Amino acid sequence: MFLHNFIYALKILCKNKVLIFWTFAFPIILGTLFNLAFSNISNSEKLDVIDIAVAGENINSNFKESIDILSNKDNSDKLFNTKYVTLNEAKKLLDDEKIVGYIYNEKIVVKKSGIEQTIFKYVVDEINSKINMSSSIFQAEISKEIENGNYNINYELINKKVNDQLNTKVSLNDTSNKNLDYVMIEFYTLIAMACLYGSLLSMTCLNNIMPNMSNEGKRLSISKTKKVSLILSNLCASYLVQLVGLLILFTYTIFALHVNYGSNLIYIILLSLAGSLAGLSLGVVVSIKFKVGENAKIGILIGIVMFWCFLSGMMGITMKYIVDKNIPILNKINPANMITDGFYSLYYYDTLDRYLLNVISLIVFSLLLLVISILNLRRQKYDSI
Amino acid sequence: MKKVIEVNNLTKEYKGVKAVDDLSFDVNEGEILGLLGPNGSGKSTTINSILSLLNYKSGNIKIFGKKMDTNAYDIKSKIGVVFQDVAVFDELTVYENIDYFCGLYITDKNKRKQYVSDALDLVGLKEFTKFRPKQLSGGLLRRLNIACGIAHKPKLIFLDEPTVAVDPQSRNNILDGIKKLRDNGATIVYTTHYMEEVEILCDRVIIIDKGKIIATGTVDELKNLSNIKEKVTVEVLDLSDKYIEEIMSLKNVDSVIYQNNELFVTYKKGKNNIVEMIDYFKNKRINYSKIFVERPTLNDVFLELTGKELRD
Amino acid sequence: MTVFKAFLKILNRNKGIVIMYTVILLVFGVTNMSTNNSNNLFTASKPSVLIVNEDNGNISKNLVKYFNENSEIKKIANNEEARNDALFYQDVSYIIYIPKNYSSDFLSGKNITLDIKKTDTYNGAYAEMLLNRYLNVANIYQKSVSDENELINKINETLKKEVKVEVTSKLNTGELDKASFYYNFMSYSMLACLIYVICLILQVFNQDKISKRNIISSTNYKKSNRILLLSNFLYSFVLWLFYFIVSMFIVPEVIFSMHGVLYLINSFIFMITCITLSFLLGNLIRNKNAISGVVNVVALGSSFLCGVFVPVNLLPSFVLSVAHIFPTFYYVEGNTLISSLEDFSFINLKPLFMNFIIMIIFCIVFIILTNIVSKKRQKIG
């Protein structure tokens, strides 16, 4: 009996085009859009070569030397594309936004302020201060020699001394995690959305079998099938369809879009199962608690899920951070964020605490909704149908 | 005779308004019981209450001698219901729909196959097994709706207005099917507001209005309740008022109406009143072209009992 | 009037959707205002840096002071997880950990390795440059100067020398970028709200039964169609006006200027394009259930591909070439053009007008297609 209901519930779900669109096709379409939109973002935020110009004739040779080192294409730290031009040419280049700025007469000219302009200015400052320092140390060394009564100054030796002093190595130890690609969050919100869109499946299933919601439900409820078995078989079917949809989405995002979900498969599966359970229970509670038509319920669910996804960073990753930081409670009770944050912890953190907290939150969320639903369902007869 | 359903003092209210008011009746084994009443008279509410789909305020319902409630699965296994609204899944084909609902009762696959095929035969949907409900016409859809309700060969069948908005061909097919079901030994409760169906089909009729039983009996018994026993219609030109008054005073005549050259006469008693009428016309040398006699319909009975037409 | 009343009823029943998209826009606009560009990586010239200082000495204090002048020092909750989150979401681009006894160790000439964390961005790289520079200068002077105060003075003196920078543009780029951002995002809410409501209303009125009833009713068929068109326009206009009024609160300086007028015109033309597109879609969609699917695919799709959610300069070129088929692309480009306008001579305005014309051409094409589709449909019916 259970199997019979289960198989037919599967058939009914799989042939519902609207549901299949939302749970299978829509996340894939959205994922493709993300991929198109974000494929460049990580690269373009990286430090790129900056186009600049040096205008005029009287250029300090030390300065030119330093700029040339930074503009040398064999230098792995190449920072600038430098053109040597006349002032008028420089102005024209700047107007056409071919260069970020130019230096003329020890003054930098830019069109507007920005990070590239700032770096340009910084490097010029750096070069200038190096030149100043070397000359001041040079002076100091010479005066030291003279103080010591040594008038026969060996300039080469002093030069070497100065260079020794200037050539200090700053040692920094980068301890940041290498998984810093924050675009991944977009794809995590996508998985969250797919999980929660499972609610559409469970909602439809319940609508089909509840006597106060559909005629089919009336027919089922006068059959000799036990209500519990009916509900369970239908929810199992919706859960299965949901998981198949997720599996397709995972396969697509991993192999076609190269999304990184962290390395531990078991944890990914556990999180997906918990997330899908949250989706399922959301559908159950909306189906039972909201006394409106099926289309209105679909509208409500899509609205809720999209809003949650918005808060967890789907339409702008910063949104998630802003909410996390300023109104943490809002995202602590947001299942889309629990899923997103769970994947984020797997991807970014080495410890599991935060991941587990998210999984537990999802399970608590689901159980809470299910308990509410069961309490409502206990009233098995209806005053009106 | 064994009683299949016993309903005692059933009362159901919607927001203080009584939809079913202290209803009591029995259904006997092997009969087709018609529940006749205008729209909104409480027929569907009665059935939904009997099936324990609805909470009711008070009353006692027994089916097959046992108290009916939501968890009475042994009773439910012997019941089949065809609801007023079509209750099939658009996503499944005709065959799958019947197989699904039948499968809720019949677990044995071979037996079920046979049952589904029988149901398809009964409603005449054999050629449409692969169709989706959306592709069926209104009549065919109704037939599918019936097939889904009765495929498991229940002992007790509720049919709630199964012929609403159905073309005449499908209606005849459906009515034939219902008779076959009774002939195969099922007890049937049939609600409708079409009196013709009741007259053709039902062994016994309960007339309901405003949630109350206003009459019970076989079709003939009900018709006998009526004051009118016979109706005669004559087409006659230019009848003067004098004659009309004379006709009024003829034996057994209850009422006379003359309109558009047609004379309607109703009689309180007797069967052969028409002979007397023809004699009267001959004596007075009145020319008449058509004349015919009718027995009263259930509509007339209903009209007399409630003062309104069955259909509005 | 009955048509208009029916229109209002349907609108009222579906107000939830309109409110949702509007709230999303408002949340976006307001957060964008309060975060003050810190999330917009390309106008910030001060990288956000977090310094975890466990040292008490003057040397480390001076380092913090230096970063205070040249970067935006962030205050983050005092735990590693919050710091890591901040780094991941680029709330801070760079984290410097100053160990205990740093100052004294430094003075004694020890070679200290600092732990840092950084993002792989312009800001991160720039922050590292700043740190490198400071440490370099400090190391150099440390070799020759032993007195703490003199050392600090020398360092600061060297770092203080700065080249003069002249900015040629007189635009308030921060505010203008904000305005563009808001107006770009508005296209998403606008598109979604208009397509959803207009499609739904066309669906309801085009349903066979109702449209037949309308045809035979006493109201003239053409007249009721006109009222329907007018109602849709009125609804769109009110929505657009509301979004415009909101923008007055978010970027008032921009709106009450010539730029504001141009934003207004651009968004108005875009609204007309949205209406015509909605009419086309409404005539194409046969199934009521398909509406929300179409809304999401069209609104999200064009927003992602045309630079609403992700700035245009970050989009790969092949995406941008695809984006040319959406009117949103020209709208967004229009906003970008407006934000970079310095004077309003005809030559400068010409590319903007071109975008206007292209959007209007889109309108005309949509209207023609709508007519073709509805004609075909009548024949089938």
ipTM comes to 0.79
How confident is the model at residue C36, as a pLDDT? 43
Structure tokens that stand for A385 in this block: 């149908």
How confident is the model at residue C40, as a pLDDT? 35
Quick one: DSSP state of residue B285? T
Could you tell me which residues of chain A have a Cβ less than 8 Å from any Cβ in chain B? 1, 4-5, 8, 11-16, 208, 211, 214-216, 218-227, 380-385
| pLDDT tens-digit series, residues C185-237 | 899 889 988 998 888 888 877 765 455 555 556 556 667 777 888 888 999 99
Min Cα distance B105 → chain A (Å) is 7
Quick one: DSSP state of residue B151? T
Pair C198, C338 in one domain: yes
Buried b (16+ CB within 10 A) or exposed e, B52-86: bbbebeebebbbbeeebeeebeebbbbbbbbbbeb
Whether residue C129 is predicted with pLDDT greater than 70 in this model: the reply is: yes
Query: Which of A108, A133, A321 is facing C164, going by the closest CB pair?
Result: A108
User: How many residues does the structure list for chain C?
Assistant: 381
**CA-CA distance, B169 to B142, in Å (whole number)?**
12
Q: Would you call B92 and A8 a contact, using CB atoms and an 8 Å cutoff?
A: yes
- Section C138-151 average pLDDT: 81
Q: Would you call A110 and C28 a contact, using CB atoms and an 8 Å cutoff?
A: no
Q: Return the residue of A nearest to B106 by Cα.
A: A1
Final residue before a domain boundary, out of C160, C192, C223:
C160
Please report which residue ranges of chain B form alpha helices under DSSP H.
Answer: 43-50, 73-76, 94-103, 109-123, 138-150, 168-183, 195-201, 219-225, 241-248, 273-284, 298-306
Q: Is residue C165 part of a domain?
A: no
Least confident of C24-28, C192-196, C213-217, C373-377: C213-217
Would you place residue C164 in the very low, low, confident or very high pLDDT band (cuts 50, 70, 90)?
confident
Q: Does B151 touch chain A (CB under 8 A)?
A: no
Q: What is the DSSP string of A44-73?
A: HHS--PEEEEEESS---HHHHHHHHHHH-T
How confident is the model at residue C265, as a pLDDT? 94
Would you place residue C381 in the very low, low, confident or very high pLDDT band (cuts 50, 70, 90)?
very low
**CA-CA distance, C229 to C237, in Å (whole number)?**
12
Query: Which of A12, A383, A385 is facing B89, going by the closest CB pair?
Result: A12
Domain boundaries along the sequence of chain B: 3-224, 227-306
| pLDDT tens-digit series, residues C280-292 | 998 888 777 788 8
List the single best residue of A318, A343, A352, A354 to mutate versus C (max C Cβ within 10 A).
Answer: A318
Min Cα distance A304 → chain C (Å) is 9
Strand partners, B10: B23
Q: Is residue C42 part of a domain?
A: no
Min Cα distance A380 → chain C (Å) is 30
- In this structure, are residues B125 and B57 in contact, taking their beta carbons and an 8 Å threshold? no
- Please report residues of B whose CB lies closer than 8 A to that of A227: 70
Pair C313, C360 in one domain: yes
Q: Which domain holds residue C109?
A: 48-160
B308 contacts: CB under 8 Å, gap ≥ 6 = B38, B302
Query: Which of A214, A219, A381 is facing B54, going by the closest CB pair?
Result: A381
User: Could you tell me the CA-to-CA distances from B119 to A310, A365, B101, B125, B136 in Å, in that order?
Assistant: 52, 46, 12, 9, 17
Residue with tokens 């439900």: A217
With H, G, I as helix, E, B as strand and everything else as coil, classify residue C363. Answer: helix
**CA-CA distance, A20 to A16, in Å (whole number)?**
6
Same fold, B3-224 and B227-306: no
Q: Does B87 touch chain A (CB under 8 A)?
A: yes
Least confident of B120-129, C20-29, C301-310: C20-29
Among C244, C273, C265, C91, smallest CA distance to C179 is for C244
How confident is the model at residue A46, as a pLDDT? 64
Strands, sheet with B262-267, edge to edge from the N-terminal-most edge strand: B253-259, B262-267, B230-236, B288-294
For residue A230, the one-letter residue type is L
**CA-CA distance, B28 to B41, in Å (whole number)?**
23
CATH assignment of B227-306? 3.30.70.100
Pair C189, C323 in one domain: yes
Q: Is residue C210 part of a domain?
A: yes
| pLDDT tens-digit series, residues C249-269 | 888 888 888 899 999 999 999
Query: Quick one: what percent of chain A has pLDDT higher than 90?
Result: 30
List the single best residue of A44, A99, A197, A331 to mutate versus C (max C Cβ within 10 A).
Answer: A44
User: What are the backbone dihedrals phi and psi of residue A292, each rounded to the nearest 5 degrees, phi first?
Assistant: -130, 175
User: Could you tell me the CA-to-CA distances from B49 to A226, B77, B217 in Å, in that order?
Assistant: 19, 17, 22
Query: Which of C115, C171, C316 is facing A39, going by the closest CB pair?
Result: C316
Whether residue C39 is predicted with pLDDT greater than 50 in this model: the reply is: no
- In this structure, are residues C188 and C245 in contact, taking their beta carbons and an 8 Å threshold? no
Structure tokens that stand for B268 in this block: 């309180």
Pair C333, C362 in one domain: yes
How confident is the model at residue C245, as a pLDDT? 92
- Please report residues of B whose CB lies closer than 8 A to that of A385: 48, 53-54
Which residues, given as ranges, of chain B have pLDDT below 70? 270-271, 309-312
Q: Would you call A110 and C163 a contact, using CB atoms and an 8 Å cutoff?
A: no
How confident is the model at residue B119, as a pLDDT? 92
Q: Would you call A385 and B88 a contact, using CB atoms and an 8 Å cutoff?
A: no
- In this structure, are residues A203 and A288 in contact, taking their beta carbons and an 8 Å threshold? no
Q: Does B100 touch chain A (CB under 8 A)?
A: yes
How confident is the model at residue C215, as a pLDDT? 57
Touching, C vs B (3+ Cβ pairs under 8 A): no
Strand partners, A249: none
Give chain C's mean pLDDT: 82
Min Cα distance C169 → chain A (Å) is 5
For residue C368, the one-letter residue type is I
Would you place residue C15 in the very low, low, confident or very high pLDDT band (cuts 50, 70, 90)?
confident
Question: In total, how many domains does chain C have?
Answer: 2
**CA-CA distance, C211 to B212, in Å (whole number)?**
42
Among A114, A115, A117, smallest CA distance to A103 is for A117
Which residues, given as ranges, of chain A have pLDDT below 50? none
Final residue before a domain boundary, out of C112, C135, C160:
C160
- Is the CATH number 2.40.50.100 carried by domain B3-224? no
Please report which residue ranges of chain C form alpha helices under DSSP H.
Answer: 2-13, 15-35, 58-70, 80-88, 102-107, 122-144, 148-160, 173-206, 208-216, 221-250, 252-255, 258-284, 290-305, 317-323, 327-339, 346-380
CATH code for position C108:
3.40.1710.10
With H, G, I as helix, E, B as strand and everything else as coil, classify residue A324. Answer: helix
**CA-CA distance, C227 to C225, in Å (whole number)?**
5
Query: H or E stretch including B155?
Result: none
**CA-CA distance, B199 to B195, in Å (whole number)?**
6
Q: Is residue C167 part of a domain?
A: no
Q: Is residue C40 part of a domain?
A: no
How confident is the model at residue C71, as a pLDDT? 85
Domains and CATH numbers, chain A: 2-41+184-377 (no CATH), 48-166 (3.40.190)
Q: Is residue C82 part of a domain?
A: yes
